[in-house]
Structures are given as structure tokens and as C-alpha cells.
């Protein structure tokens, strides 16, 4: 039976969720942050899930209105400060992938502090993809390998990626679109894909549980017969 060791989620639909309710788009992001907590708590208590990677802010998201981007940066800073208690209570290690050098010094410090304070937690690794793009990560990994004078191959390439997370088993996208949007291109080579029309603020652990049950029934051949 398949084991959902690494689950990756493209959290789509926050803005549309708010617009449908006559709210500002930023209210959808606030509700979406609450769902992150609920899904993380569920995964932390699931006996088979070890890594949860969430697509929080892509390299393309800088194209959004400045007001919305500024709000997302402030929301992330507040959320990390508030969630530290949850990380410790649930024994969750916090990790980041992506180029955070474009963030403010304050936010970079918050990210580094949260990583440091949770580095010994062992129940689940929650990964936020921040200023992340799959192609960008691969290019940066190649540059690191060249700088180190290492000839890369499939066996050692993982060491040059942003974090050693292993392959993705399940990739989920909420919000109705059916594409992976430059997310975890190397690690998702053999991921089982799941798409739902549910907008991220409405995505509940019960729906994730149903997807995990379906995942366990799928036949994964990895190129073999």
C-alpha cells in the first residue's frame, strides 16, 4: 500500500474565496492562513506523513498589486510569530525553500529564527515555499554544484536543492486549475496528482483524508510494468 510520506499542496483560491463573499482579497489570505494551521495539525498527527510542503509565495507572485504583496509579507511575519507555539506544541519542524533574500531583513530574521527554534522537532517537517519557483531552484542548485566543482547526477543533485526533502508522493492543487505551476519540478517527477475545485480557505482535513485514502489505492509503477 502506498505511503503518503511527502505531501505537497498548491494553495490556490484565497482571492476568489473572498471576492465571492464581497470581501477584499486579503481576507481570503487571512482565512487561508488558518487553514494552513488546520492542515498542518492534521498531518502532524497522521502516522505516515513526514513532510508537508506548501506553495505560499511564488517567484511570479511579485506581479500582484503592491498592496496585496505588502499585506502578504506582513501576514507571513505575524503568522510565523503566532504559529511558533503551534510548531512547538505539535512537534513540527519549520523549513523554507526558495530565495528569501528579496524579503525584508525583518522577515528574513523571523524565518531564520523560526527555523532555529524548531530544528529539533521530529513529528512533521512543514515546508513553506517562499519566493519559490521550480526552475529557479534547479538553476540555483546547478550554480551551487558548479561553484563546488561537483559533477552532478541524479544521485547527488538533491544535496544542492534548497532542502533535502525527498520525492513528493502526493501533489494537490486546490481552486480548480489543473497544472503544477512551476512547483517542485525535480521532486514531483513521480508524484500522484490530485486536483479539487475546493478553494483553499474551504479545504478541510476531511477532504485531504479522502485523497490520502485514494492515493493508497493507486498503482504506482515508477516506469516499470
Going by C-alpha positions, the residue among 60, 191, 72 that lies closest to residue 134 is 60
Q: Give the chain's largest Cα–Cα span.
A: 55
Query: What's the residue count for the chain?
Result: 225
Q: Which of 14, 45, 61, 136 is catalytic?
A: 61
DSSP 138: H
Burial letters for 204-218: b for 16+ Cβ neighbours within 10 Å, e otherwise?
Answer: ebebbeebbeebeee
Q: Is 12 a catalytic residue?
A: yes
**Cα(160)–Cα(173) distance, integer angstroms:** 26
Going by C-alpha positions, the residue among 45, 43, 41, 33 that lies closest to residue 7 is 43
Q: Which of 12, 14, 121, 162 is catalytic?
A: 12
Q: Kindly list the catalytic residues.
A: 12, 61
Amino acid at each position: 500500500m502506498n505511503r503518503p510520506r511527502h505531501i505537497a499542496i498548491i494553495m490556490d483560491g484565497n482571492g476568489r474565496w473572498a471576492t465571492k463573499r464581497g470581501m477584499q482579497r486579503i481576507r481570503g489570505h487571512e482565512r487561508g492562513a488558518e487553514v494552513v494551521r488546520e492542515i498542518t495539525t492534521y498531518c502532524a498527527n497522521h502516522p505516515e506523513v513526514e513532510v508537508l510542503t506548501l506553495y505560499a509565495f511564488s517567484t511570479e507572485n511579485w506581479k500582484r498589486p503592491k498592496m496585496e504583496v505588502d499585506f502578504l509579507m506582513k501576514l507571513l511575519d505575524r503568522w510565523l510569530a503566532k504559529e511558533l507555539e503551534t510548531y512547538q506544541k505539535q512537534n513540527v519542524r519549520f523549513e523554507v525553500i526558495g530565495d528569501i533574500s528579496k524579503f525584508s531583513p525583518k522577515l528574513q530574521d523571523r524565518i531564520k529564527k523560526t527555523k532555529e527554534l524548531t530544528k529539533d522537532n521530529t513529528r512533521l517537517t512543514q515546508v513553506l515555499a517562499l519566493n519559490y519557483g521550480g526552475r529557479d531552484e534547479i538553476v540555483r542548485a546547478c550554480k551551487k554544484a558548479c561553484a563546488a566543482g561537483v559533477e552532478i547526477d541524479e544521485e547527488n543533485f538533491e544535496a544542492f536543492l534548497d532542502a533535502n526533502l525527498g520525492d513528493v508522493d502526493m501533489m494537490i492543487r486546490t481552486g480548480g486549475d489543473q497544472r503544477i505551476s512551476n512547483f517542485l519540478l525535480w521532486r514531483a517527477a513521480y508524484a500522484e496528482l490530485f486536483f479539487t475545485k475546493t478553494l483553499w480557505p474551504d479545504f478541510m482535513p476531511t477532504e485531504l483524508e479522502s485523497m490520502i485514502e485514494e492515493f493508497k489505492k493507486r498503482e504506482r509503477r515508477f516506469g516499470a510494468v
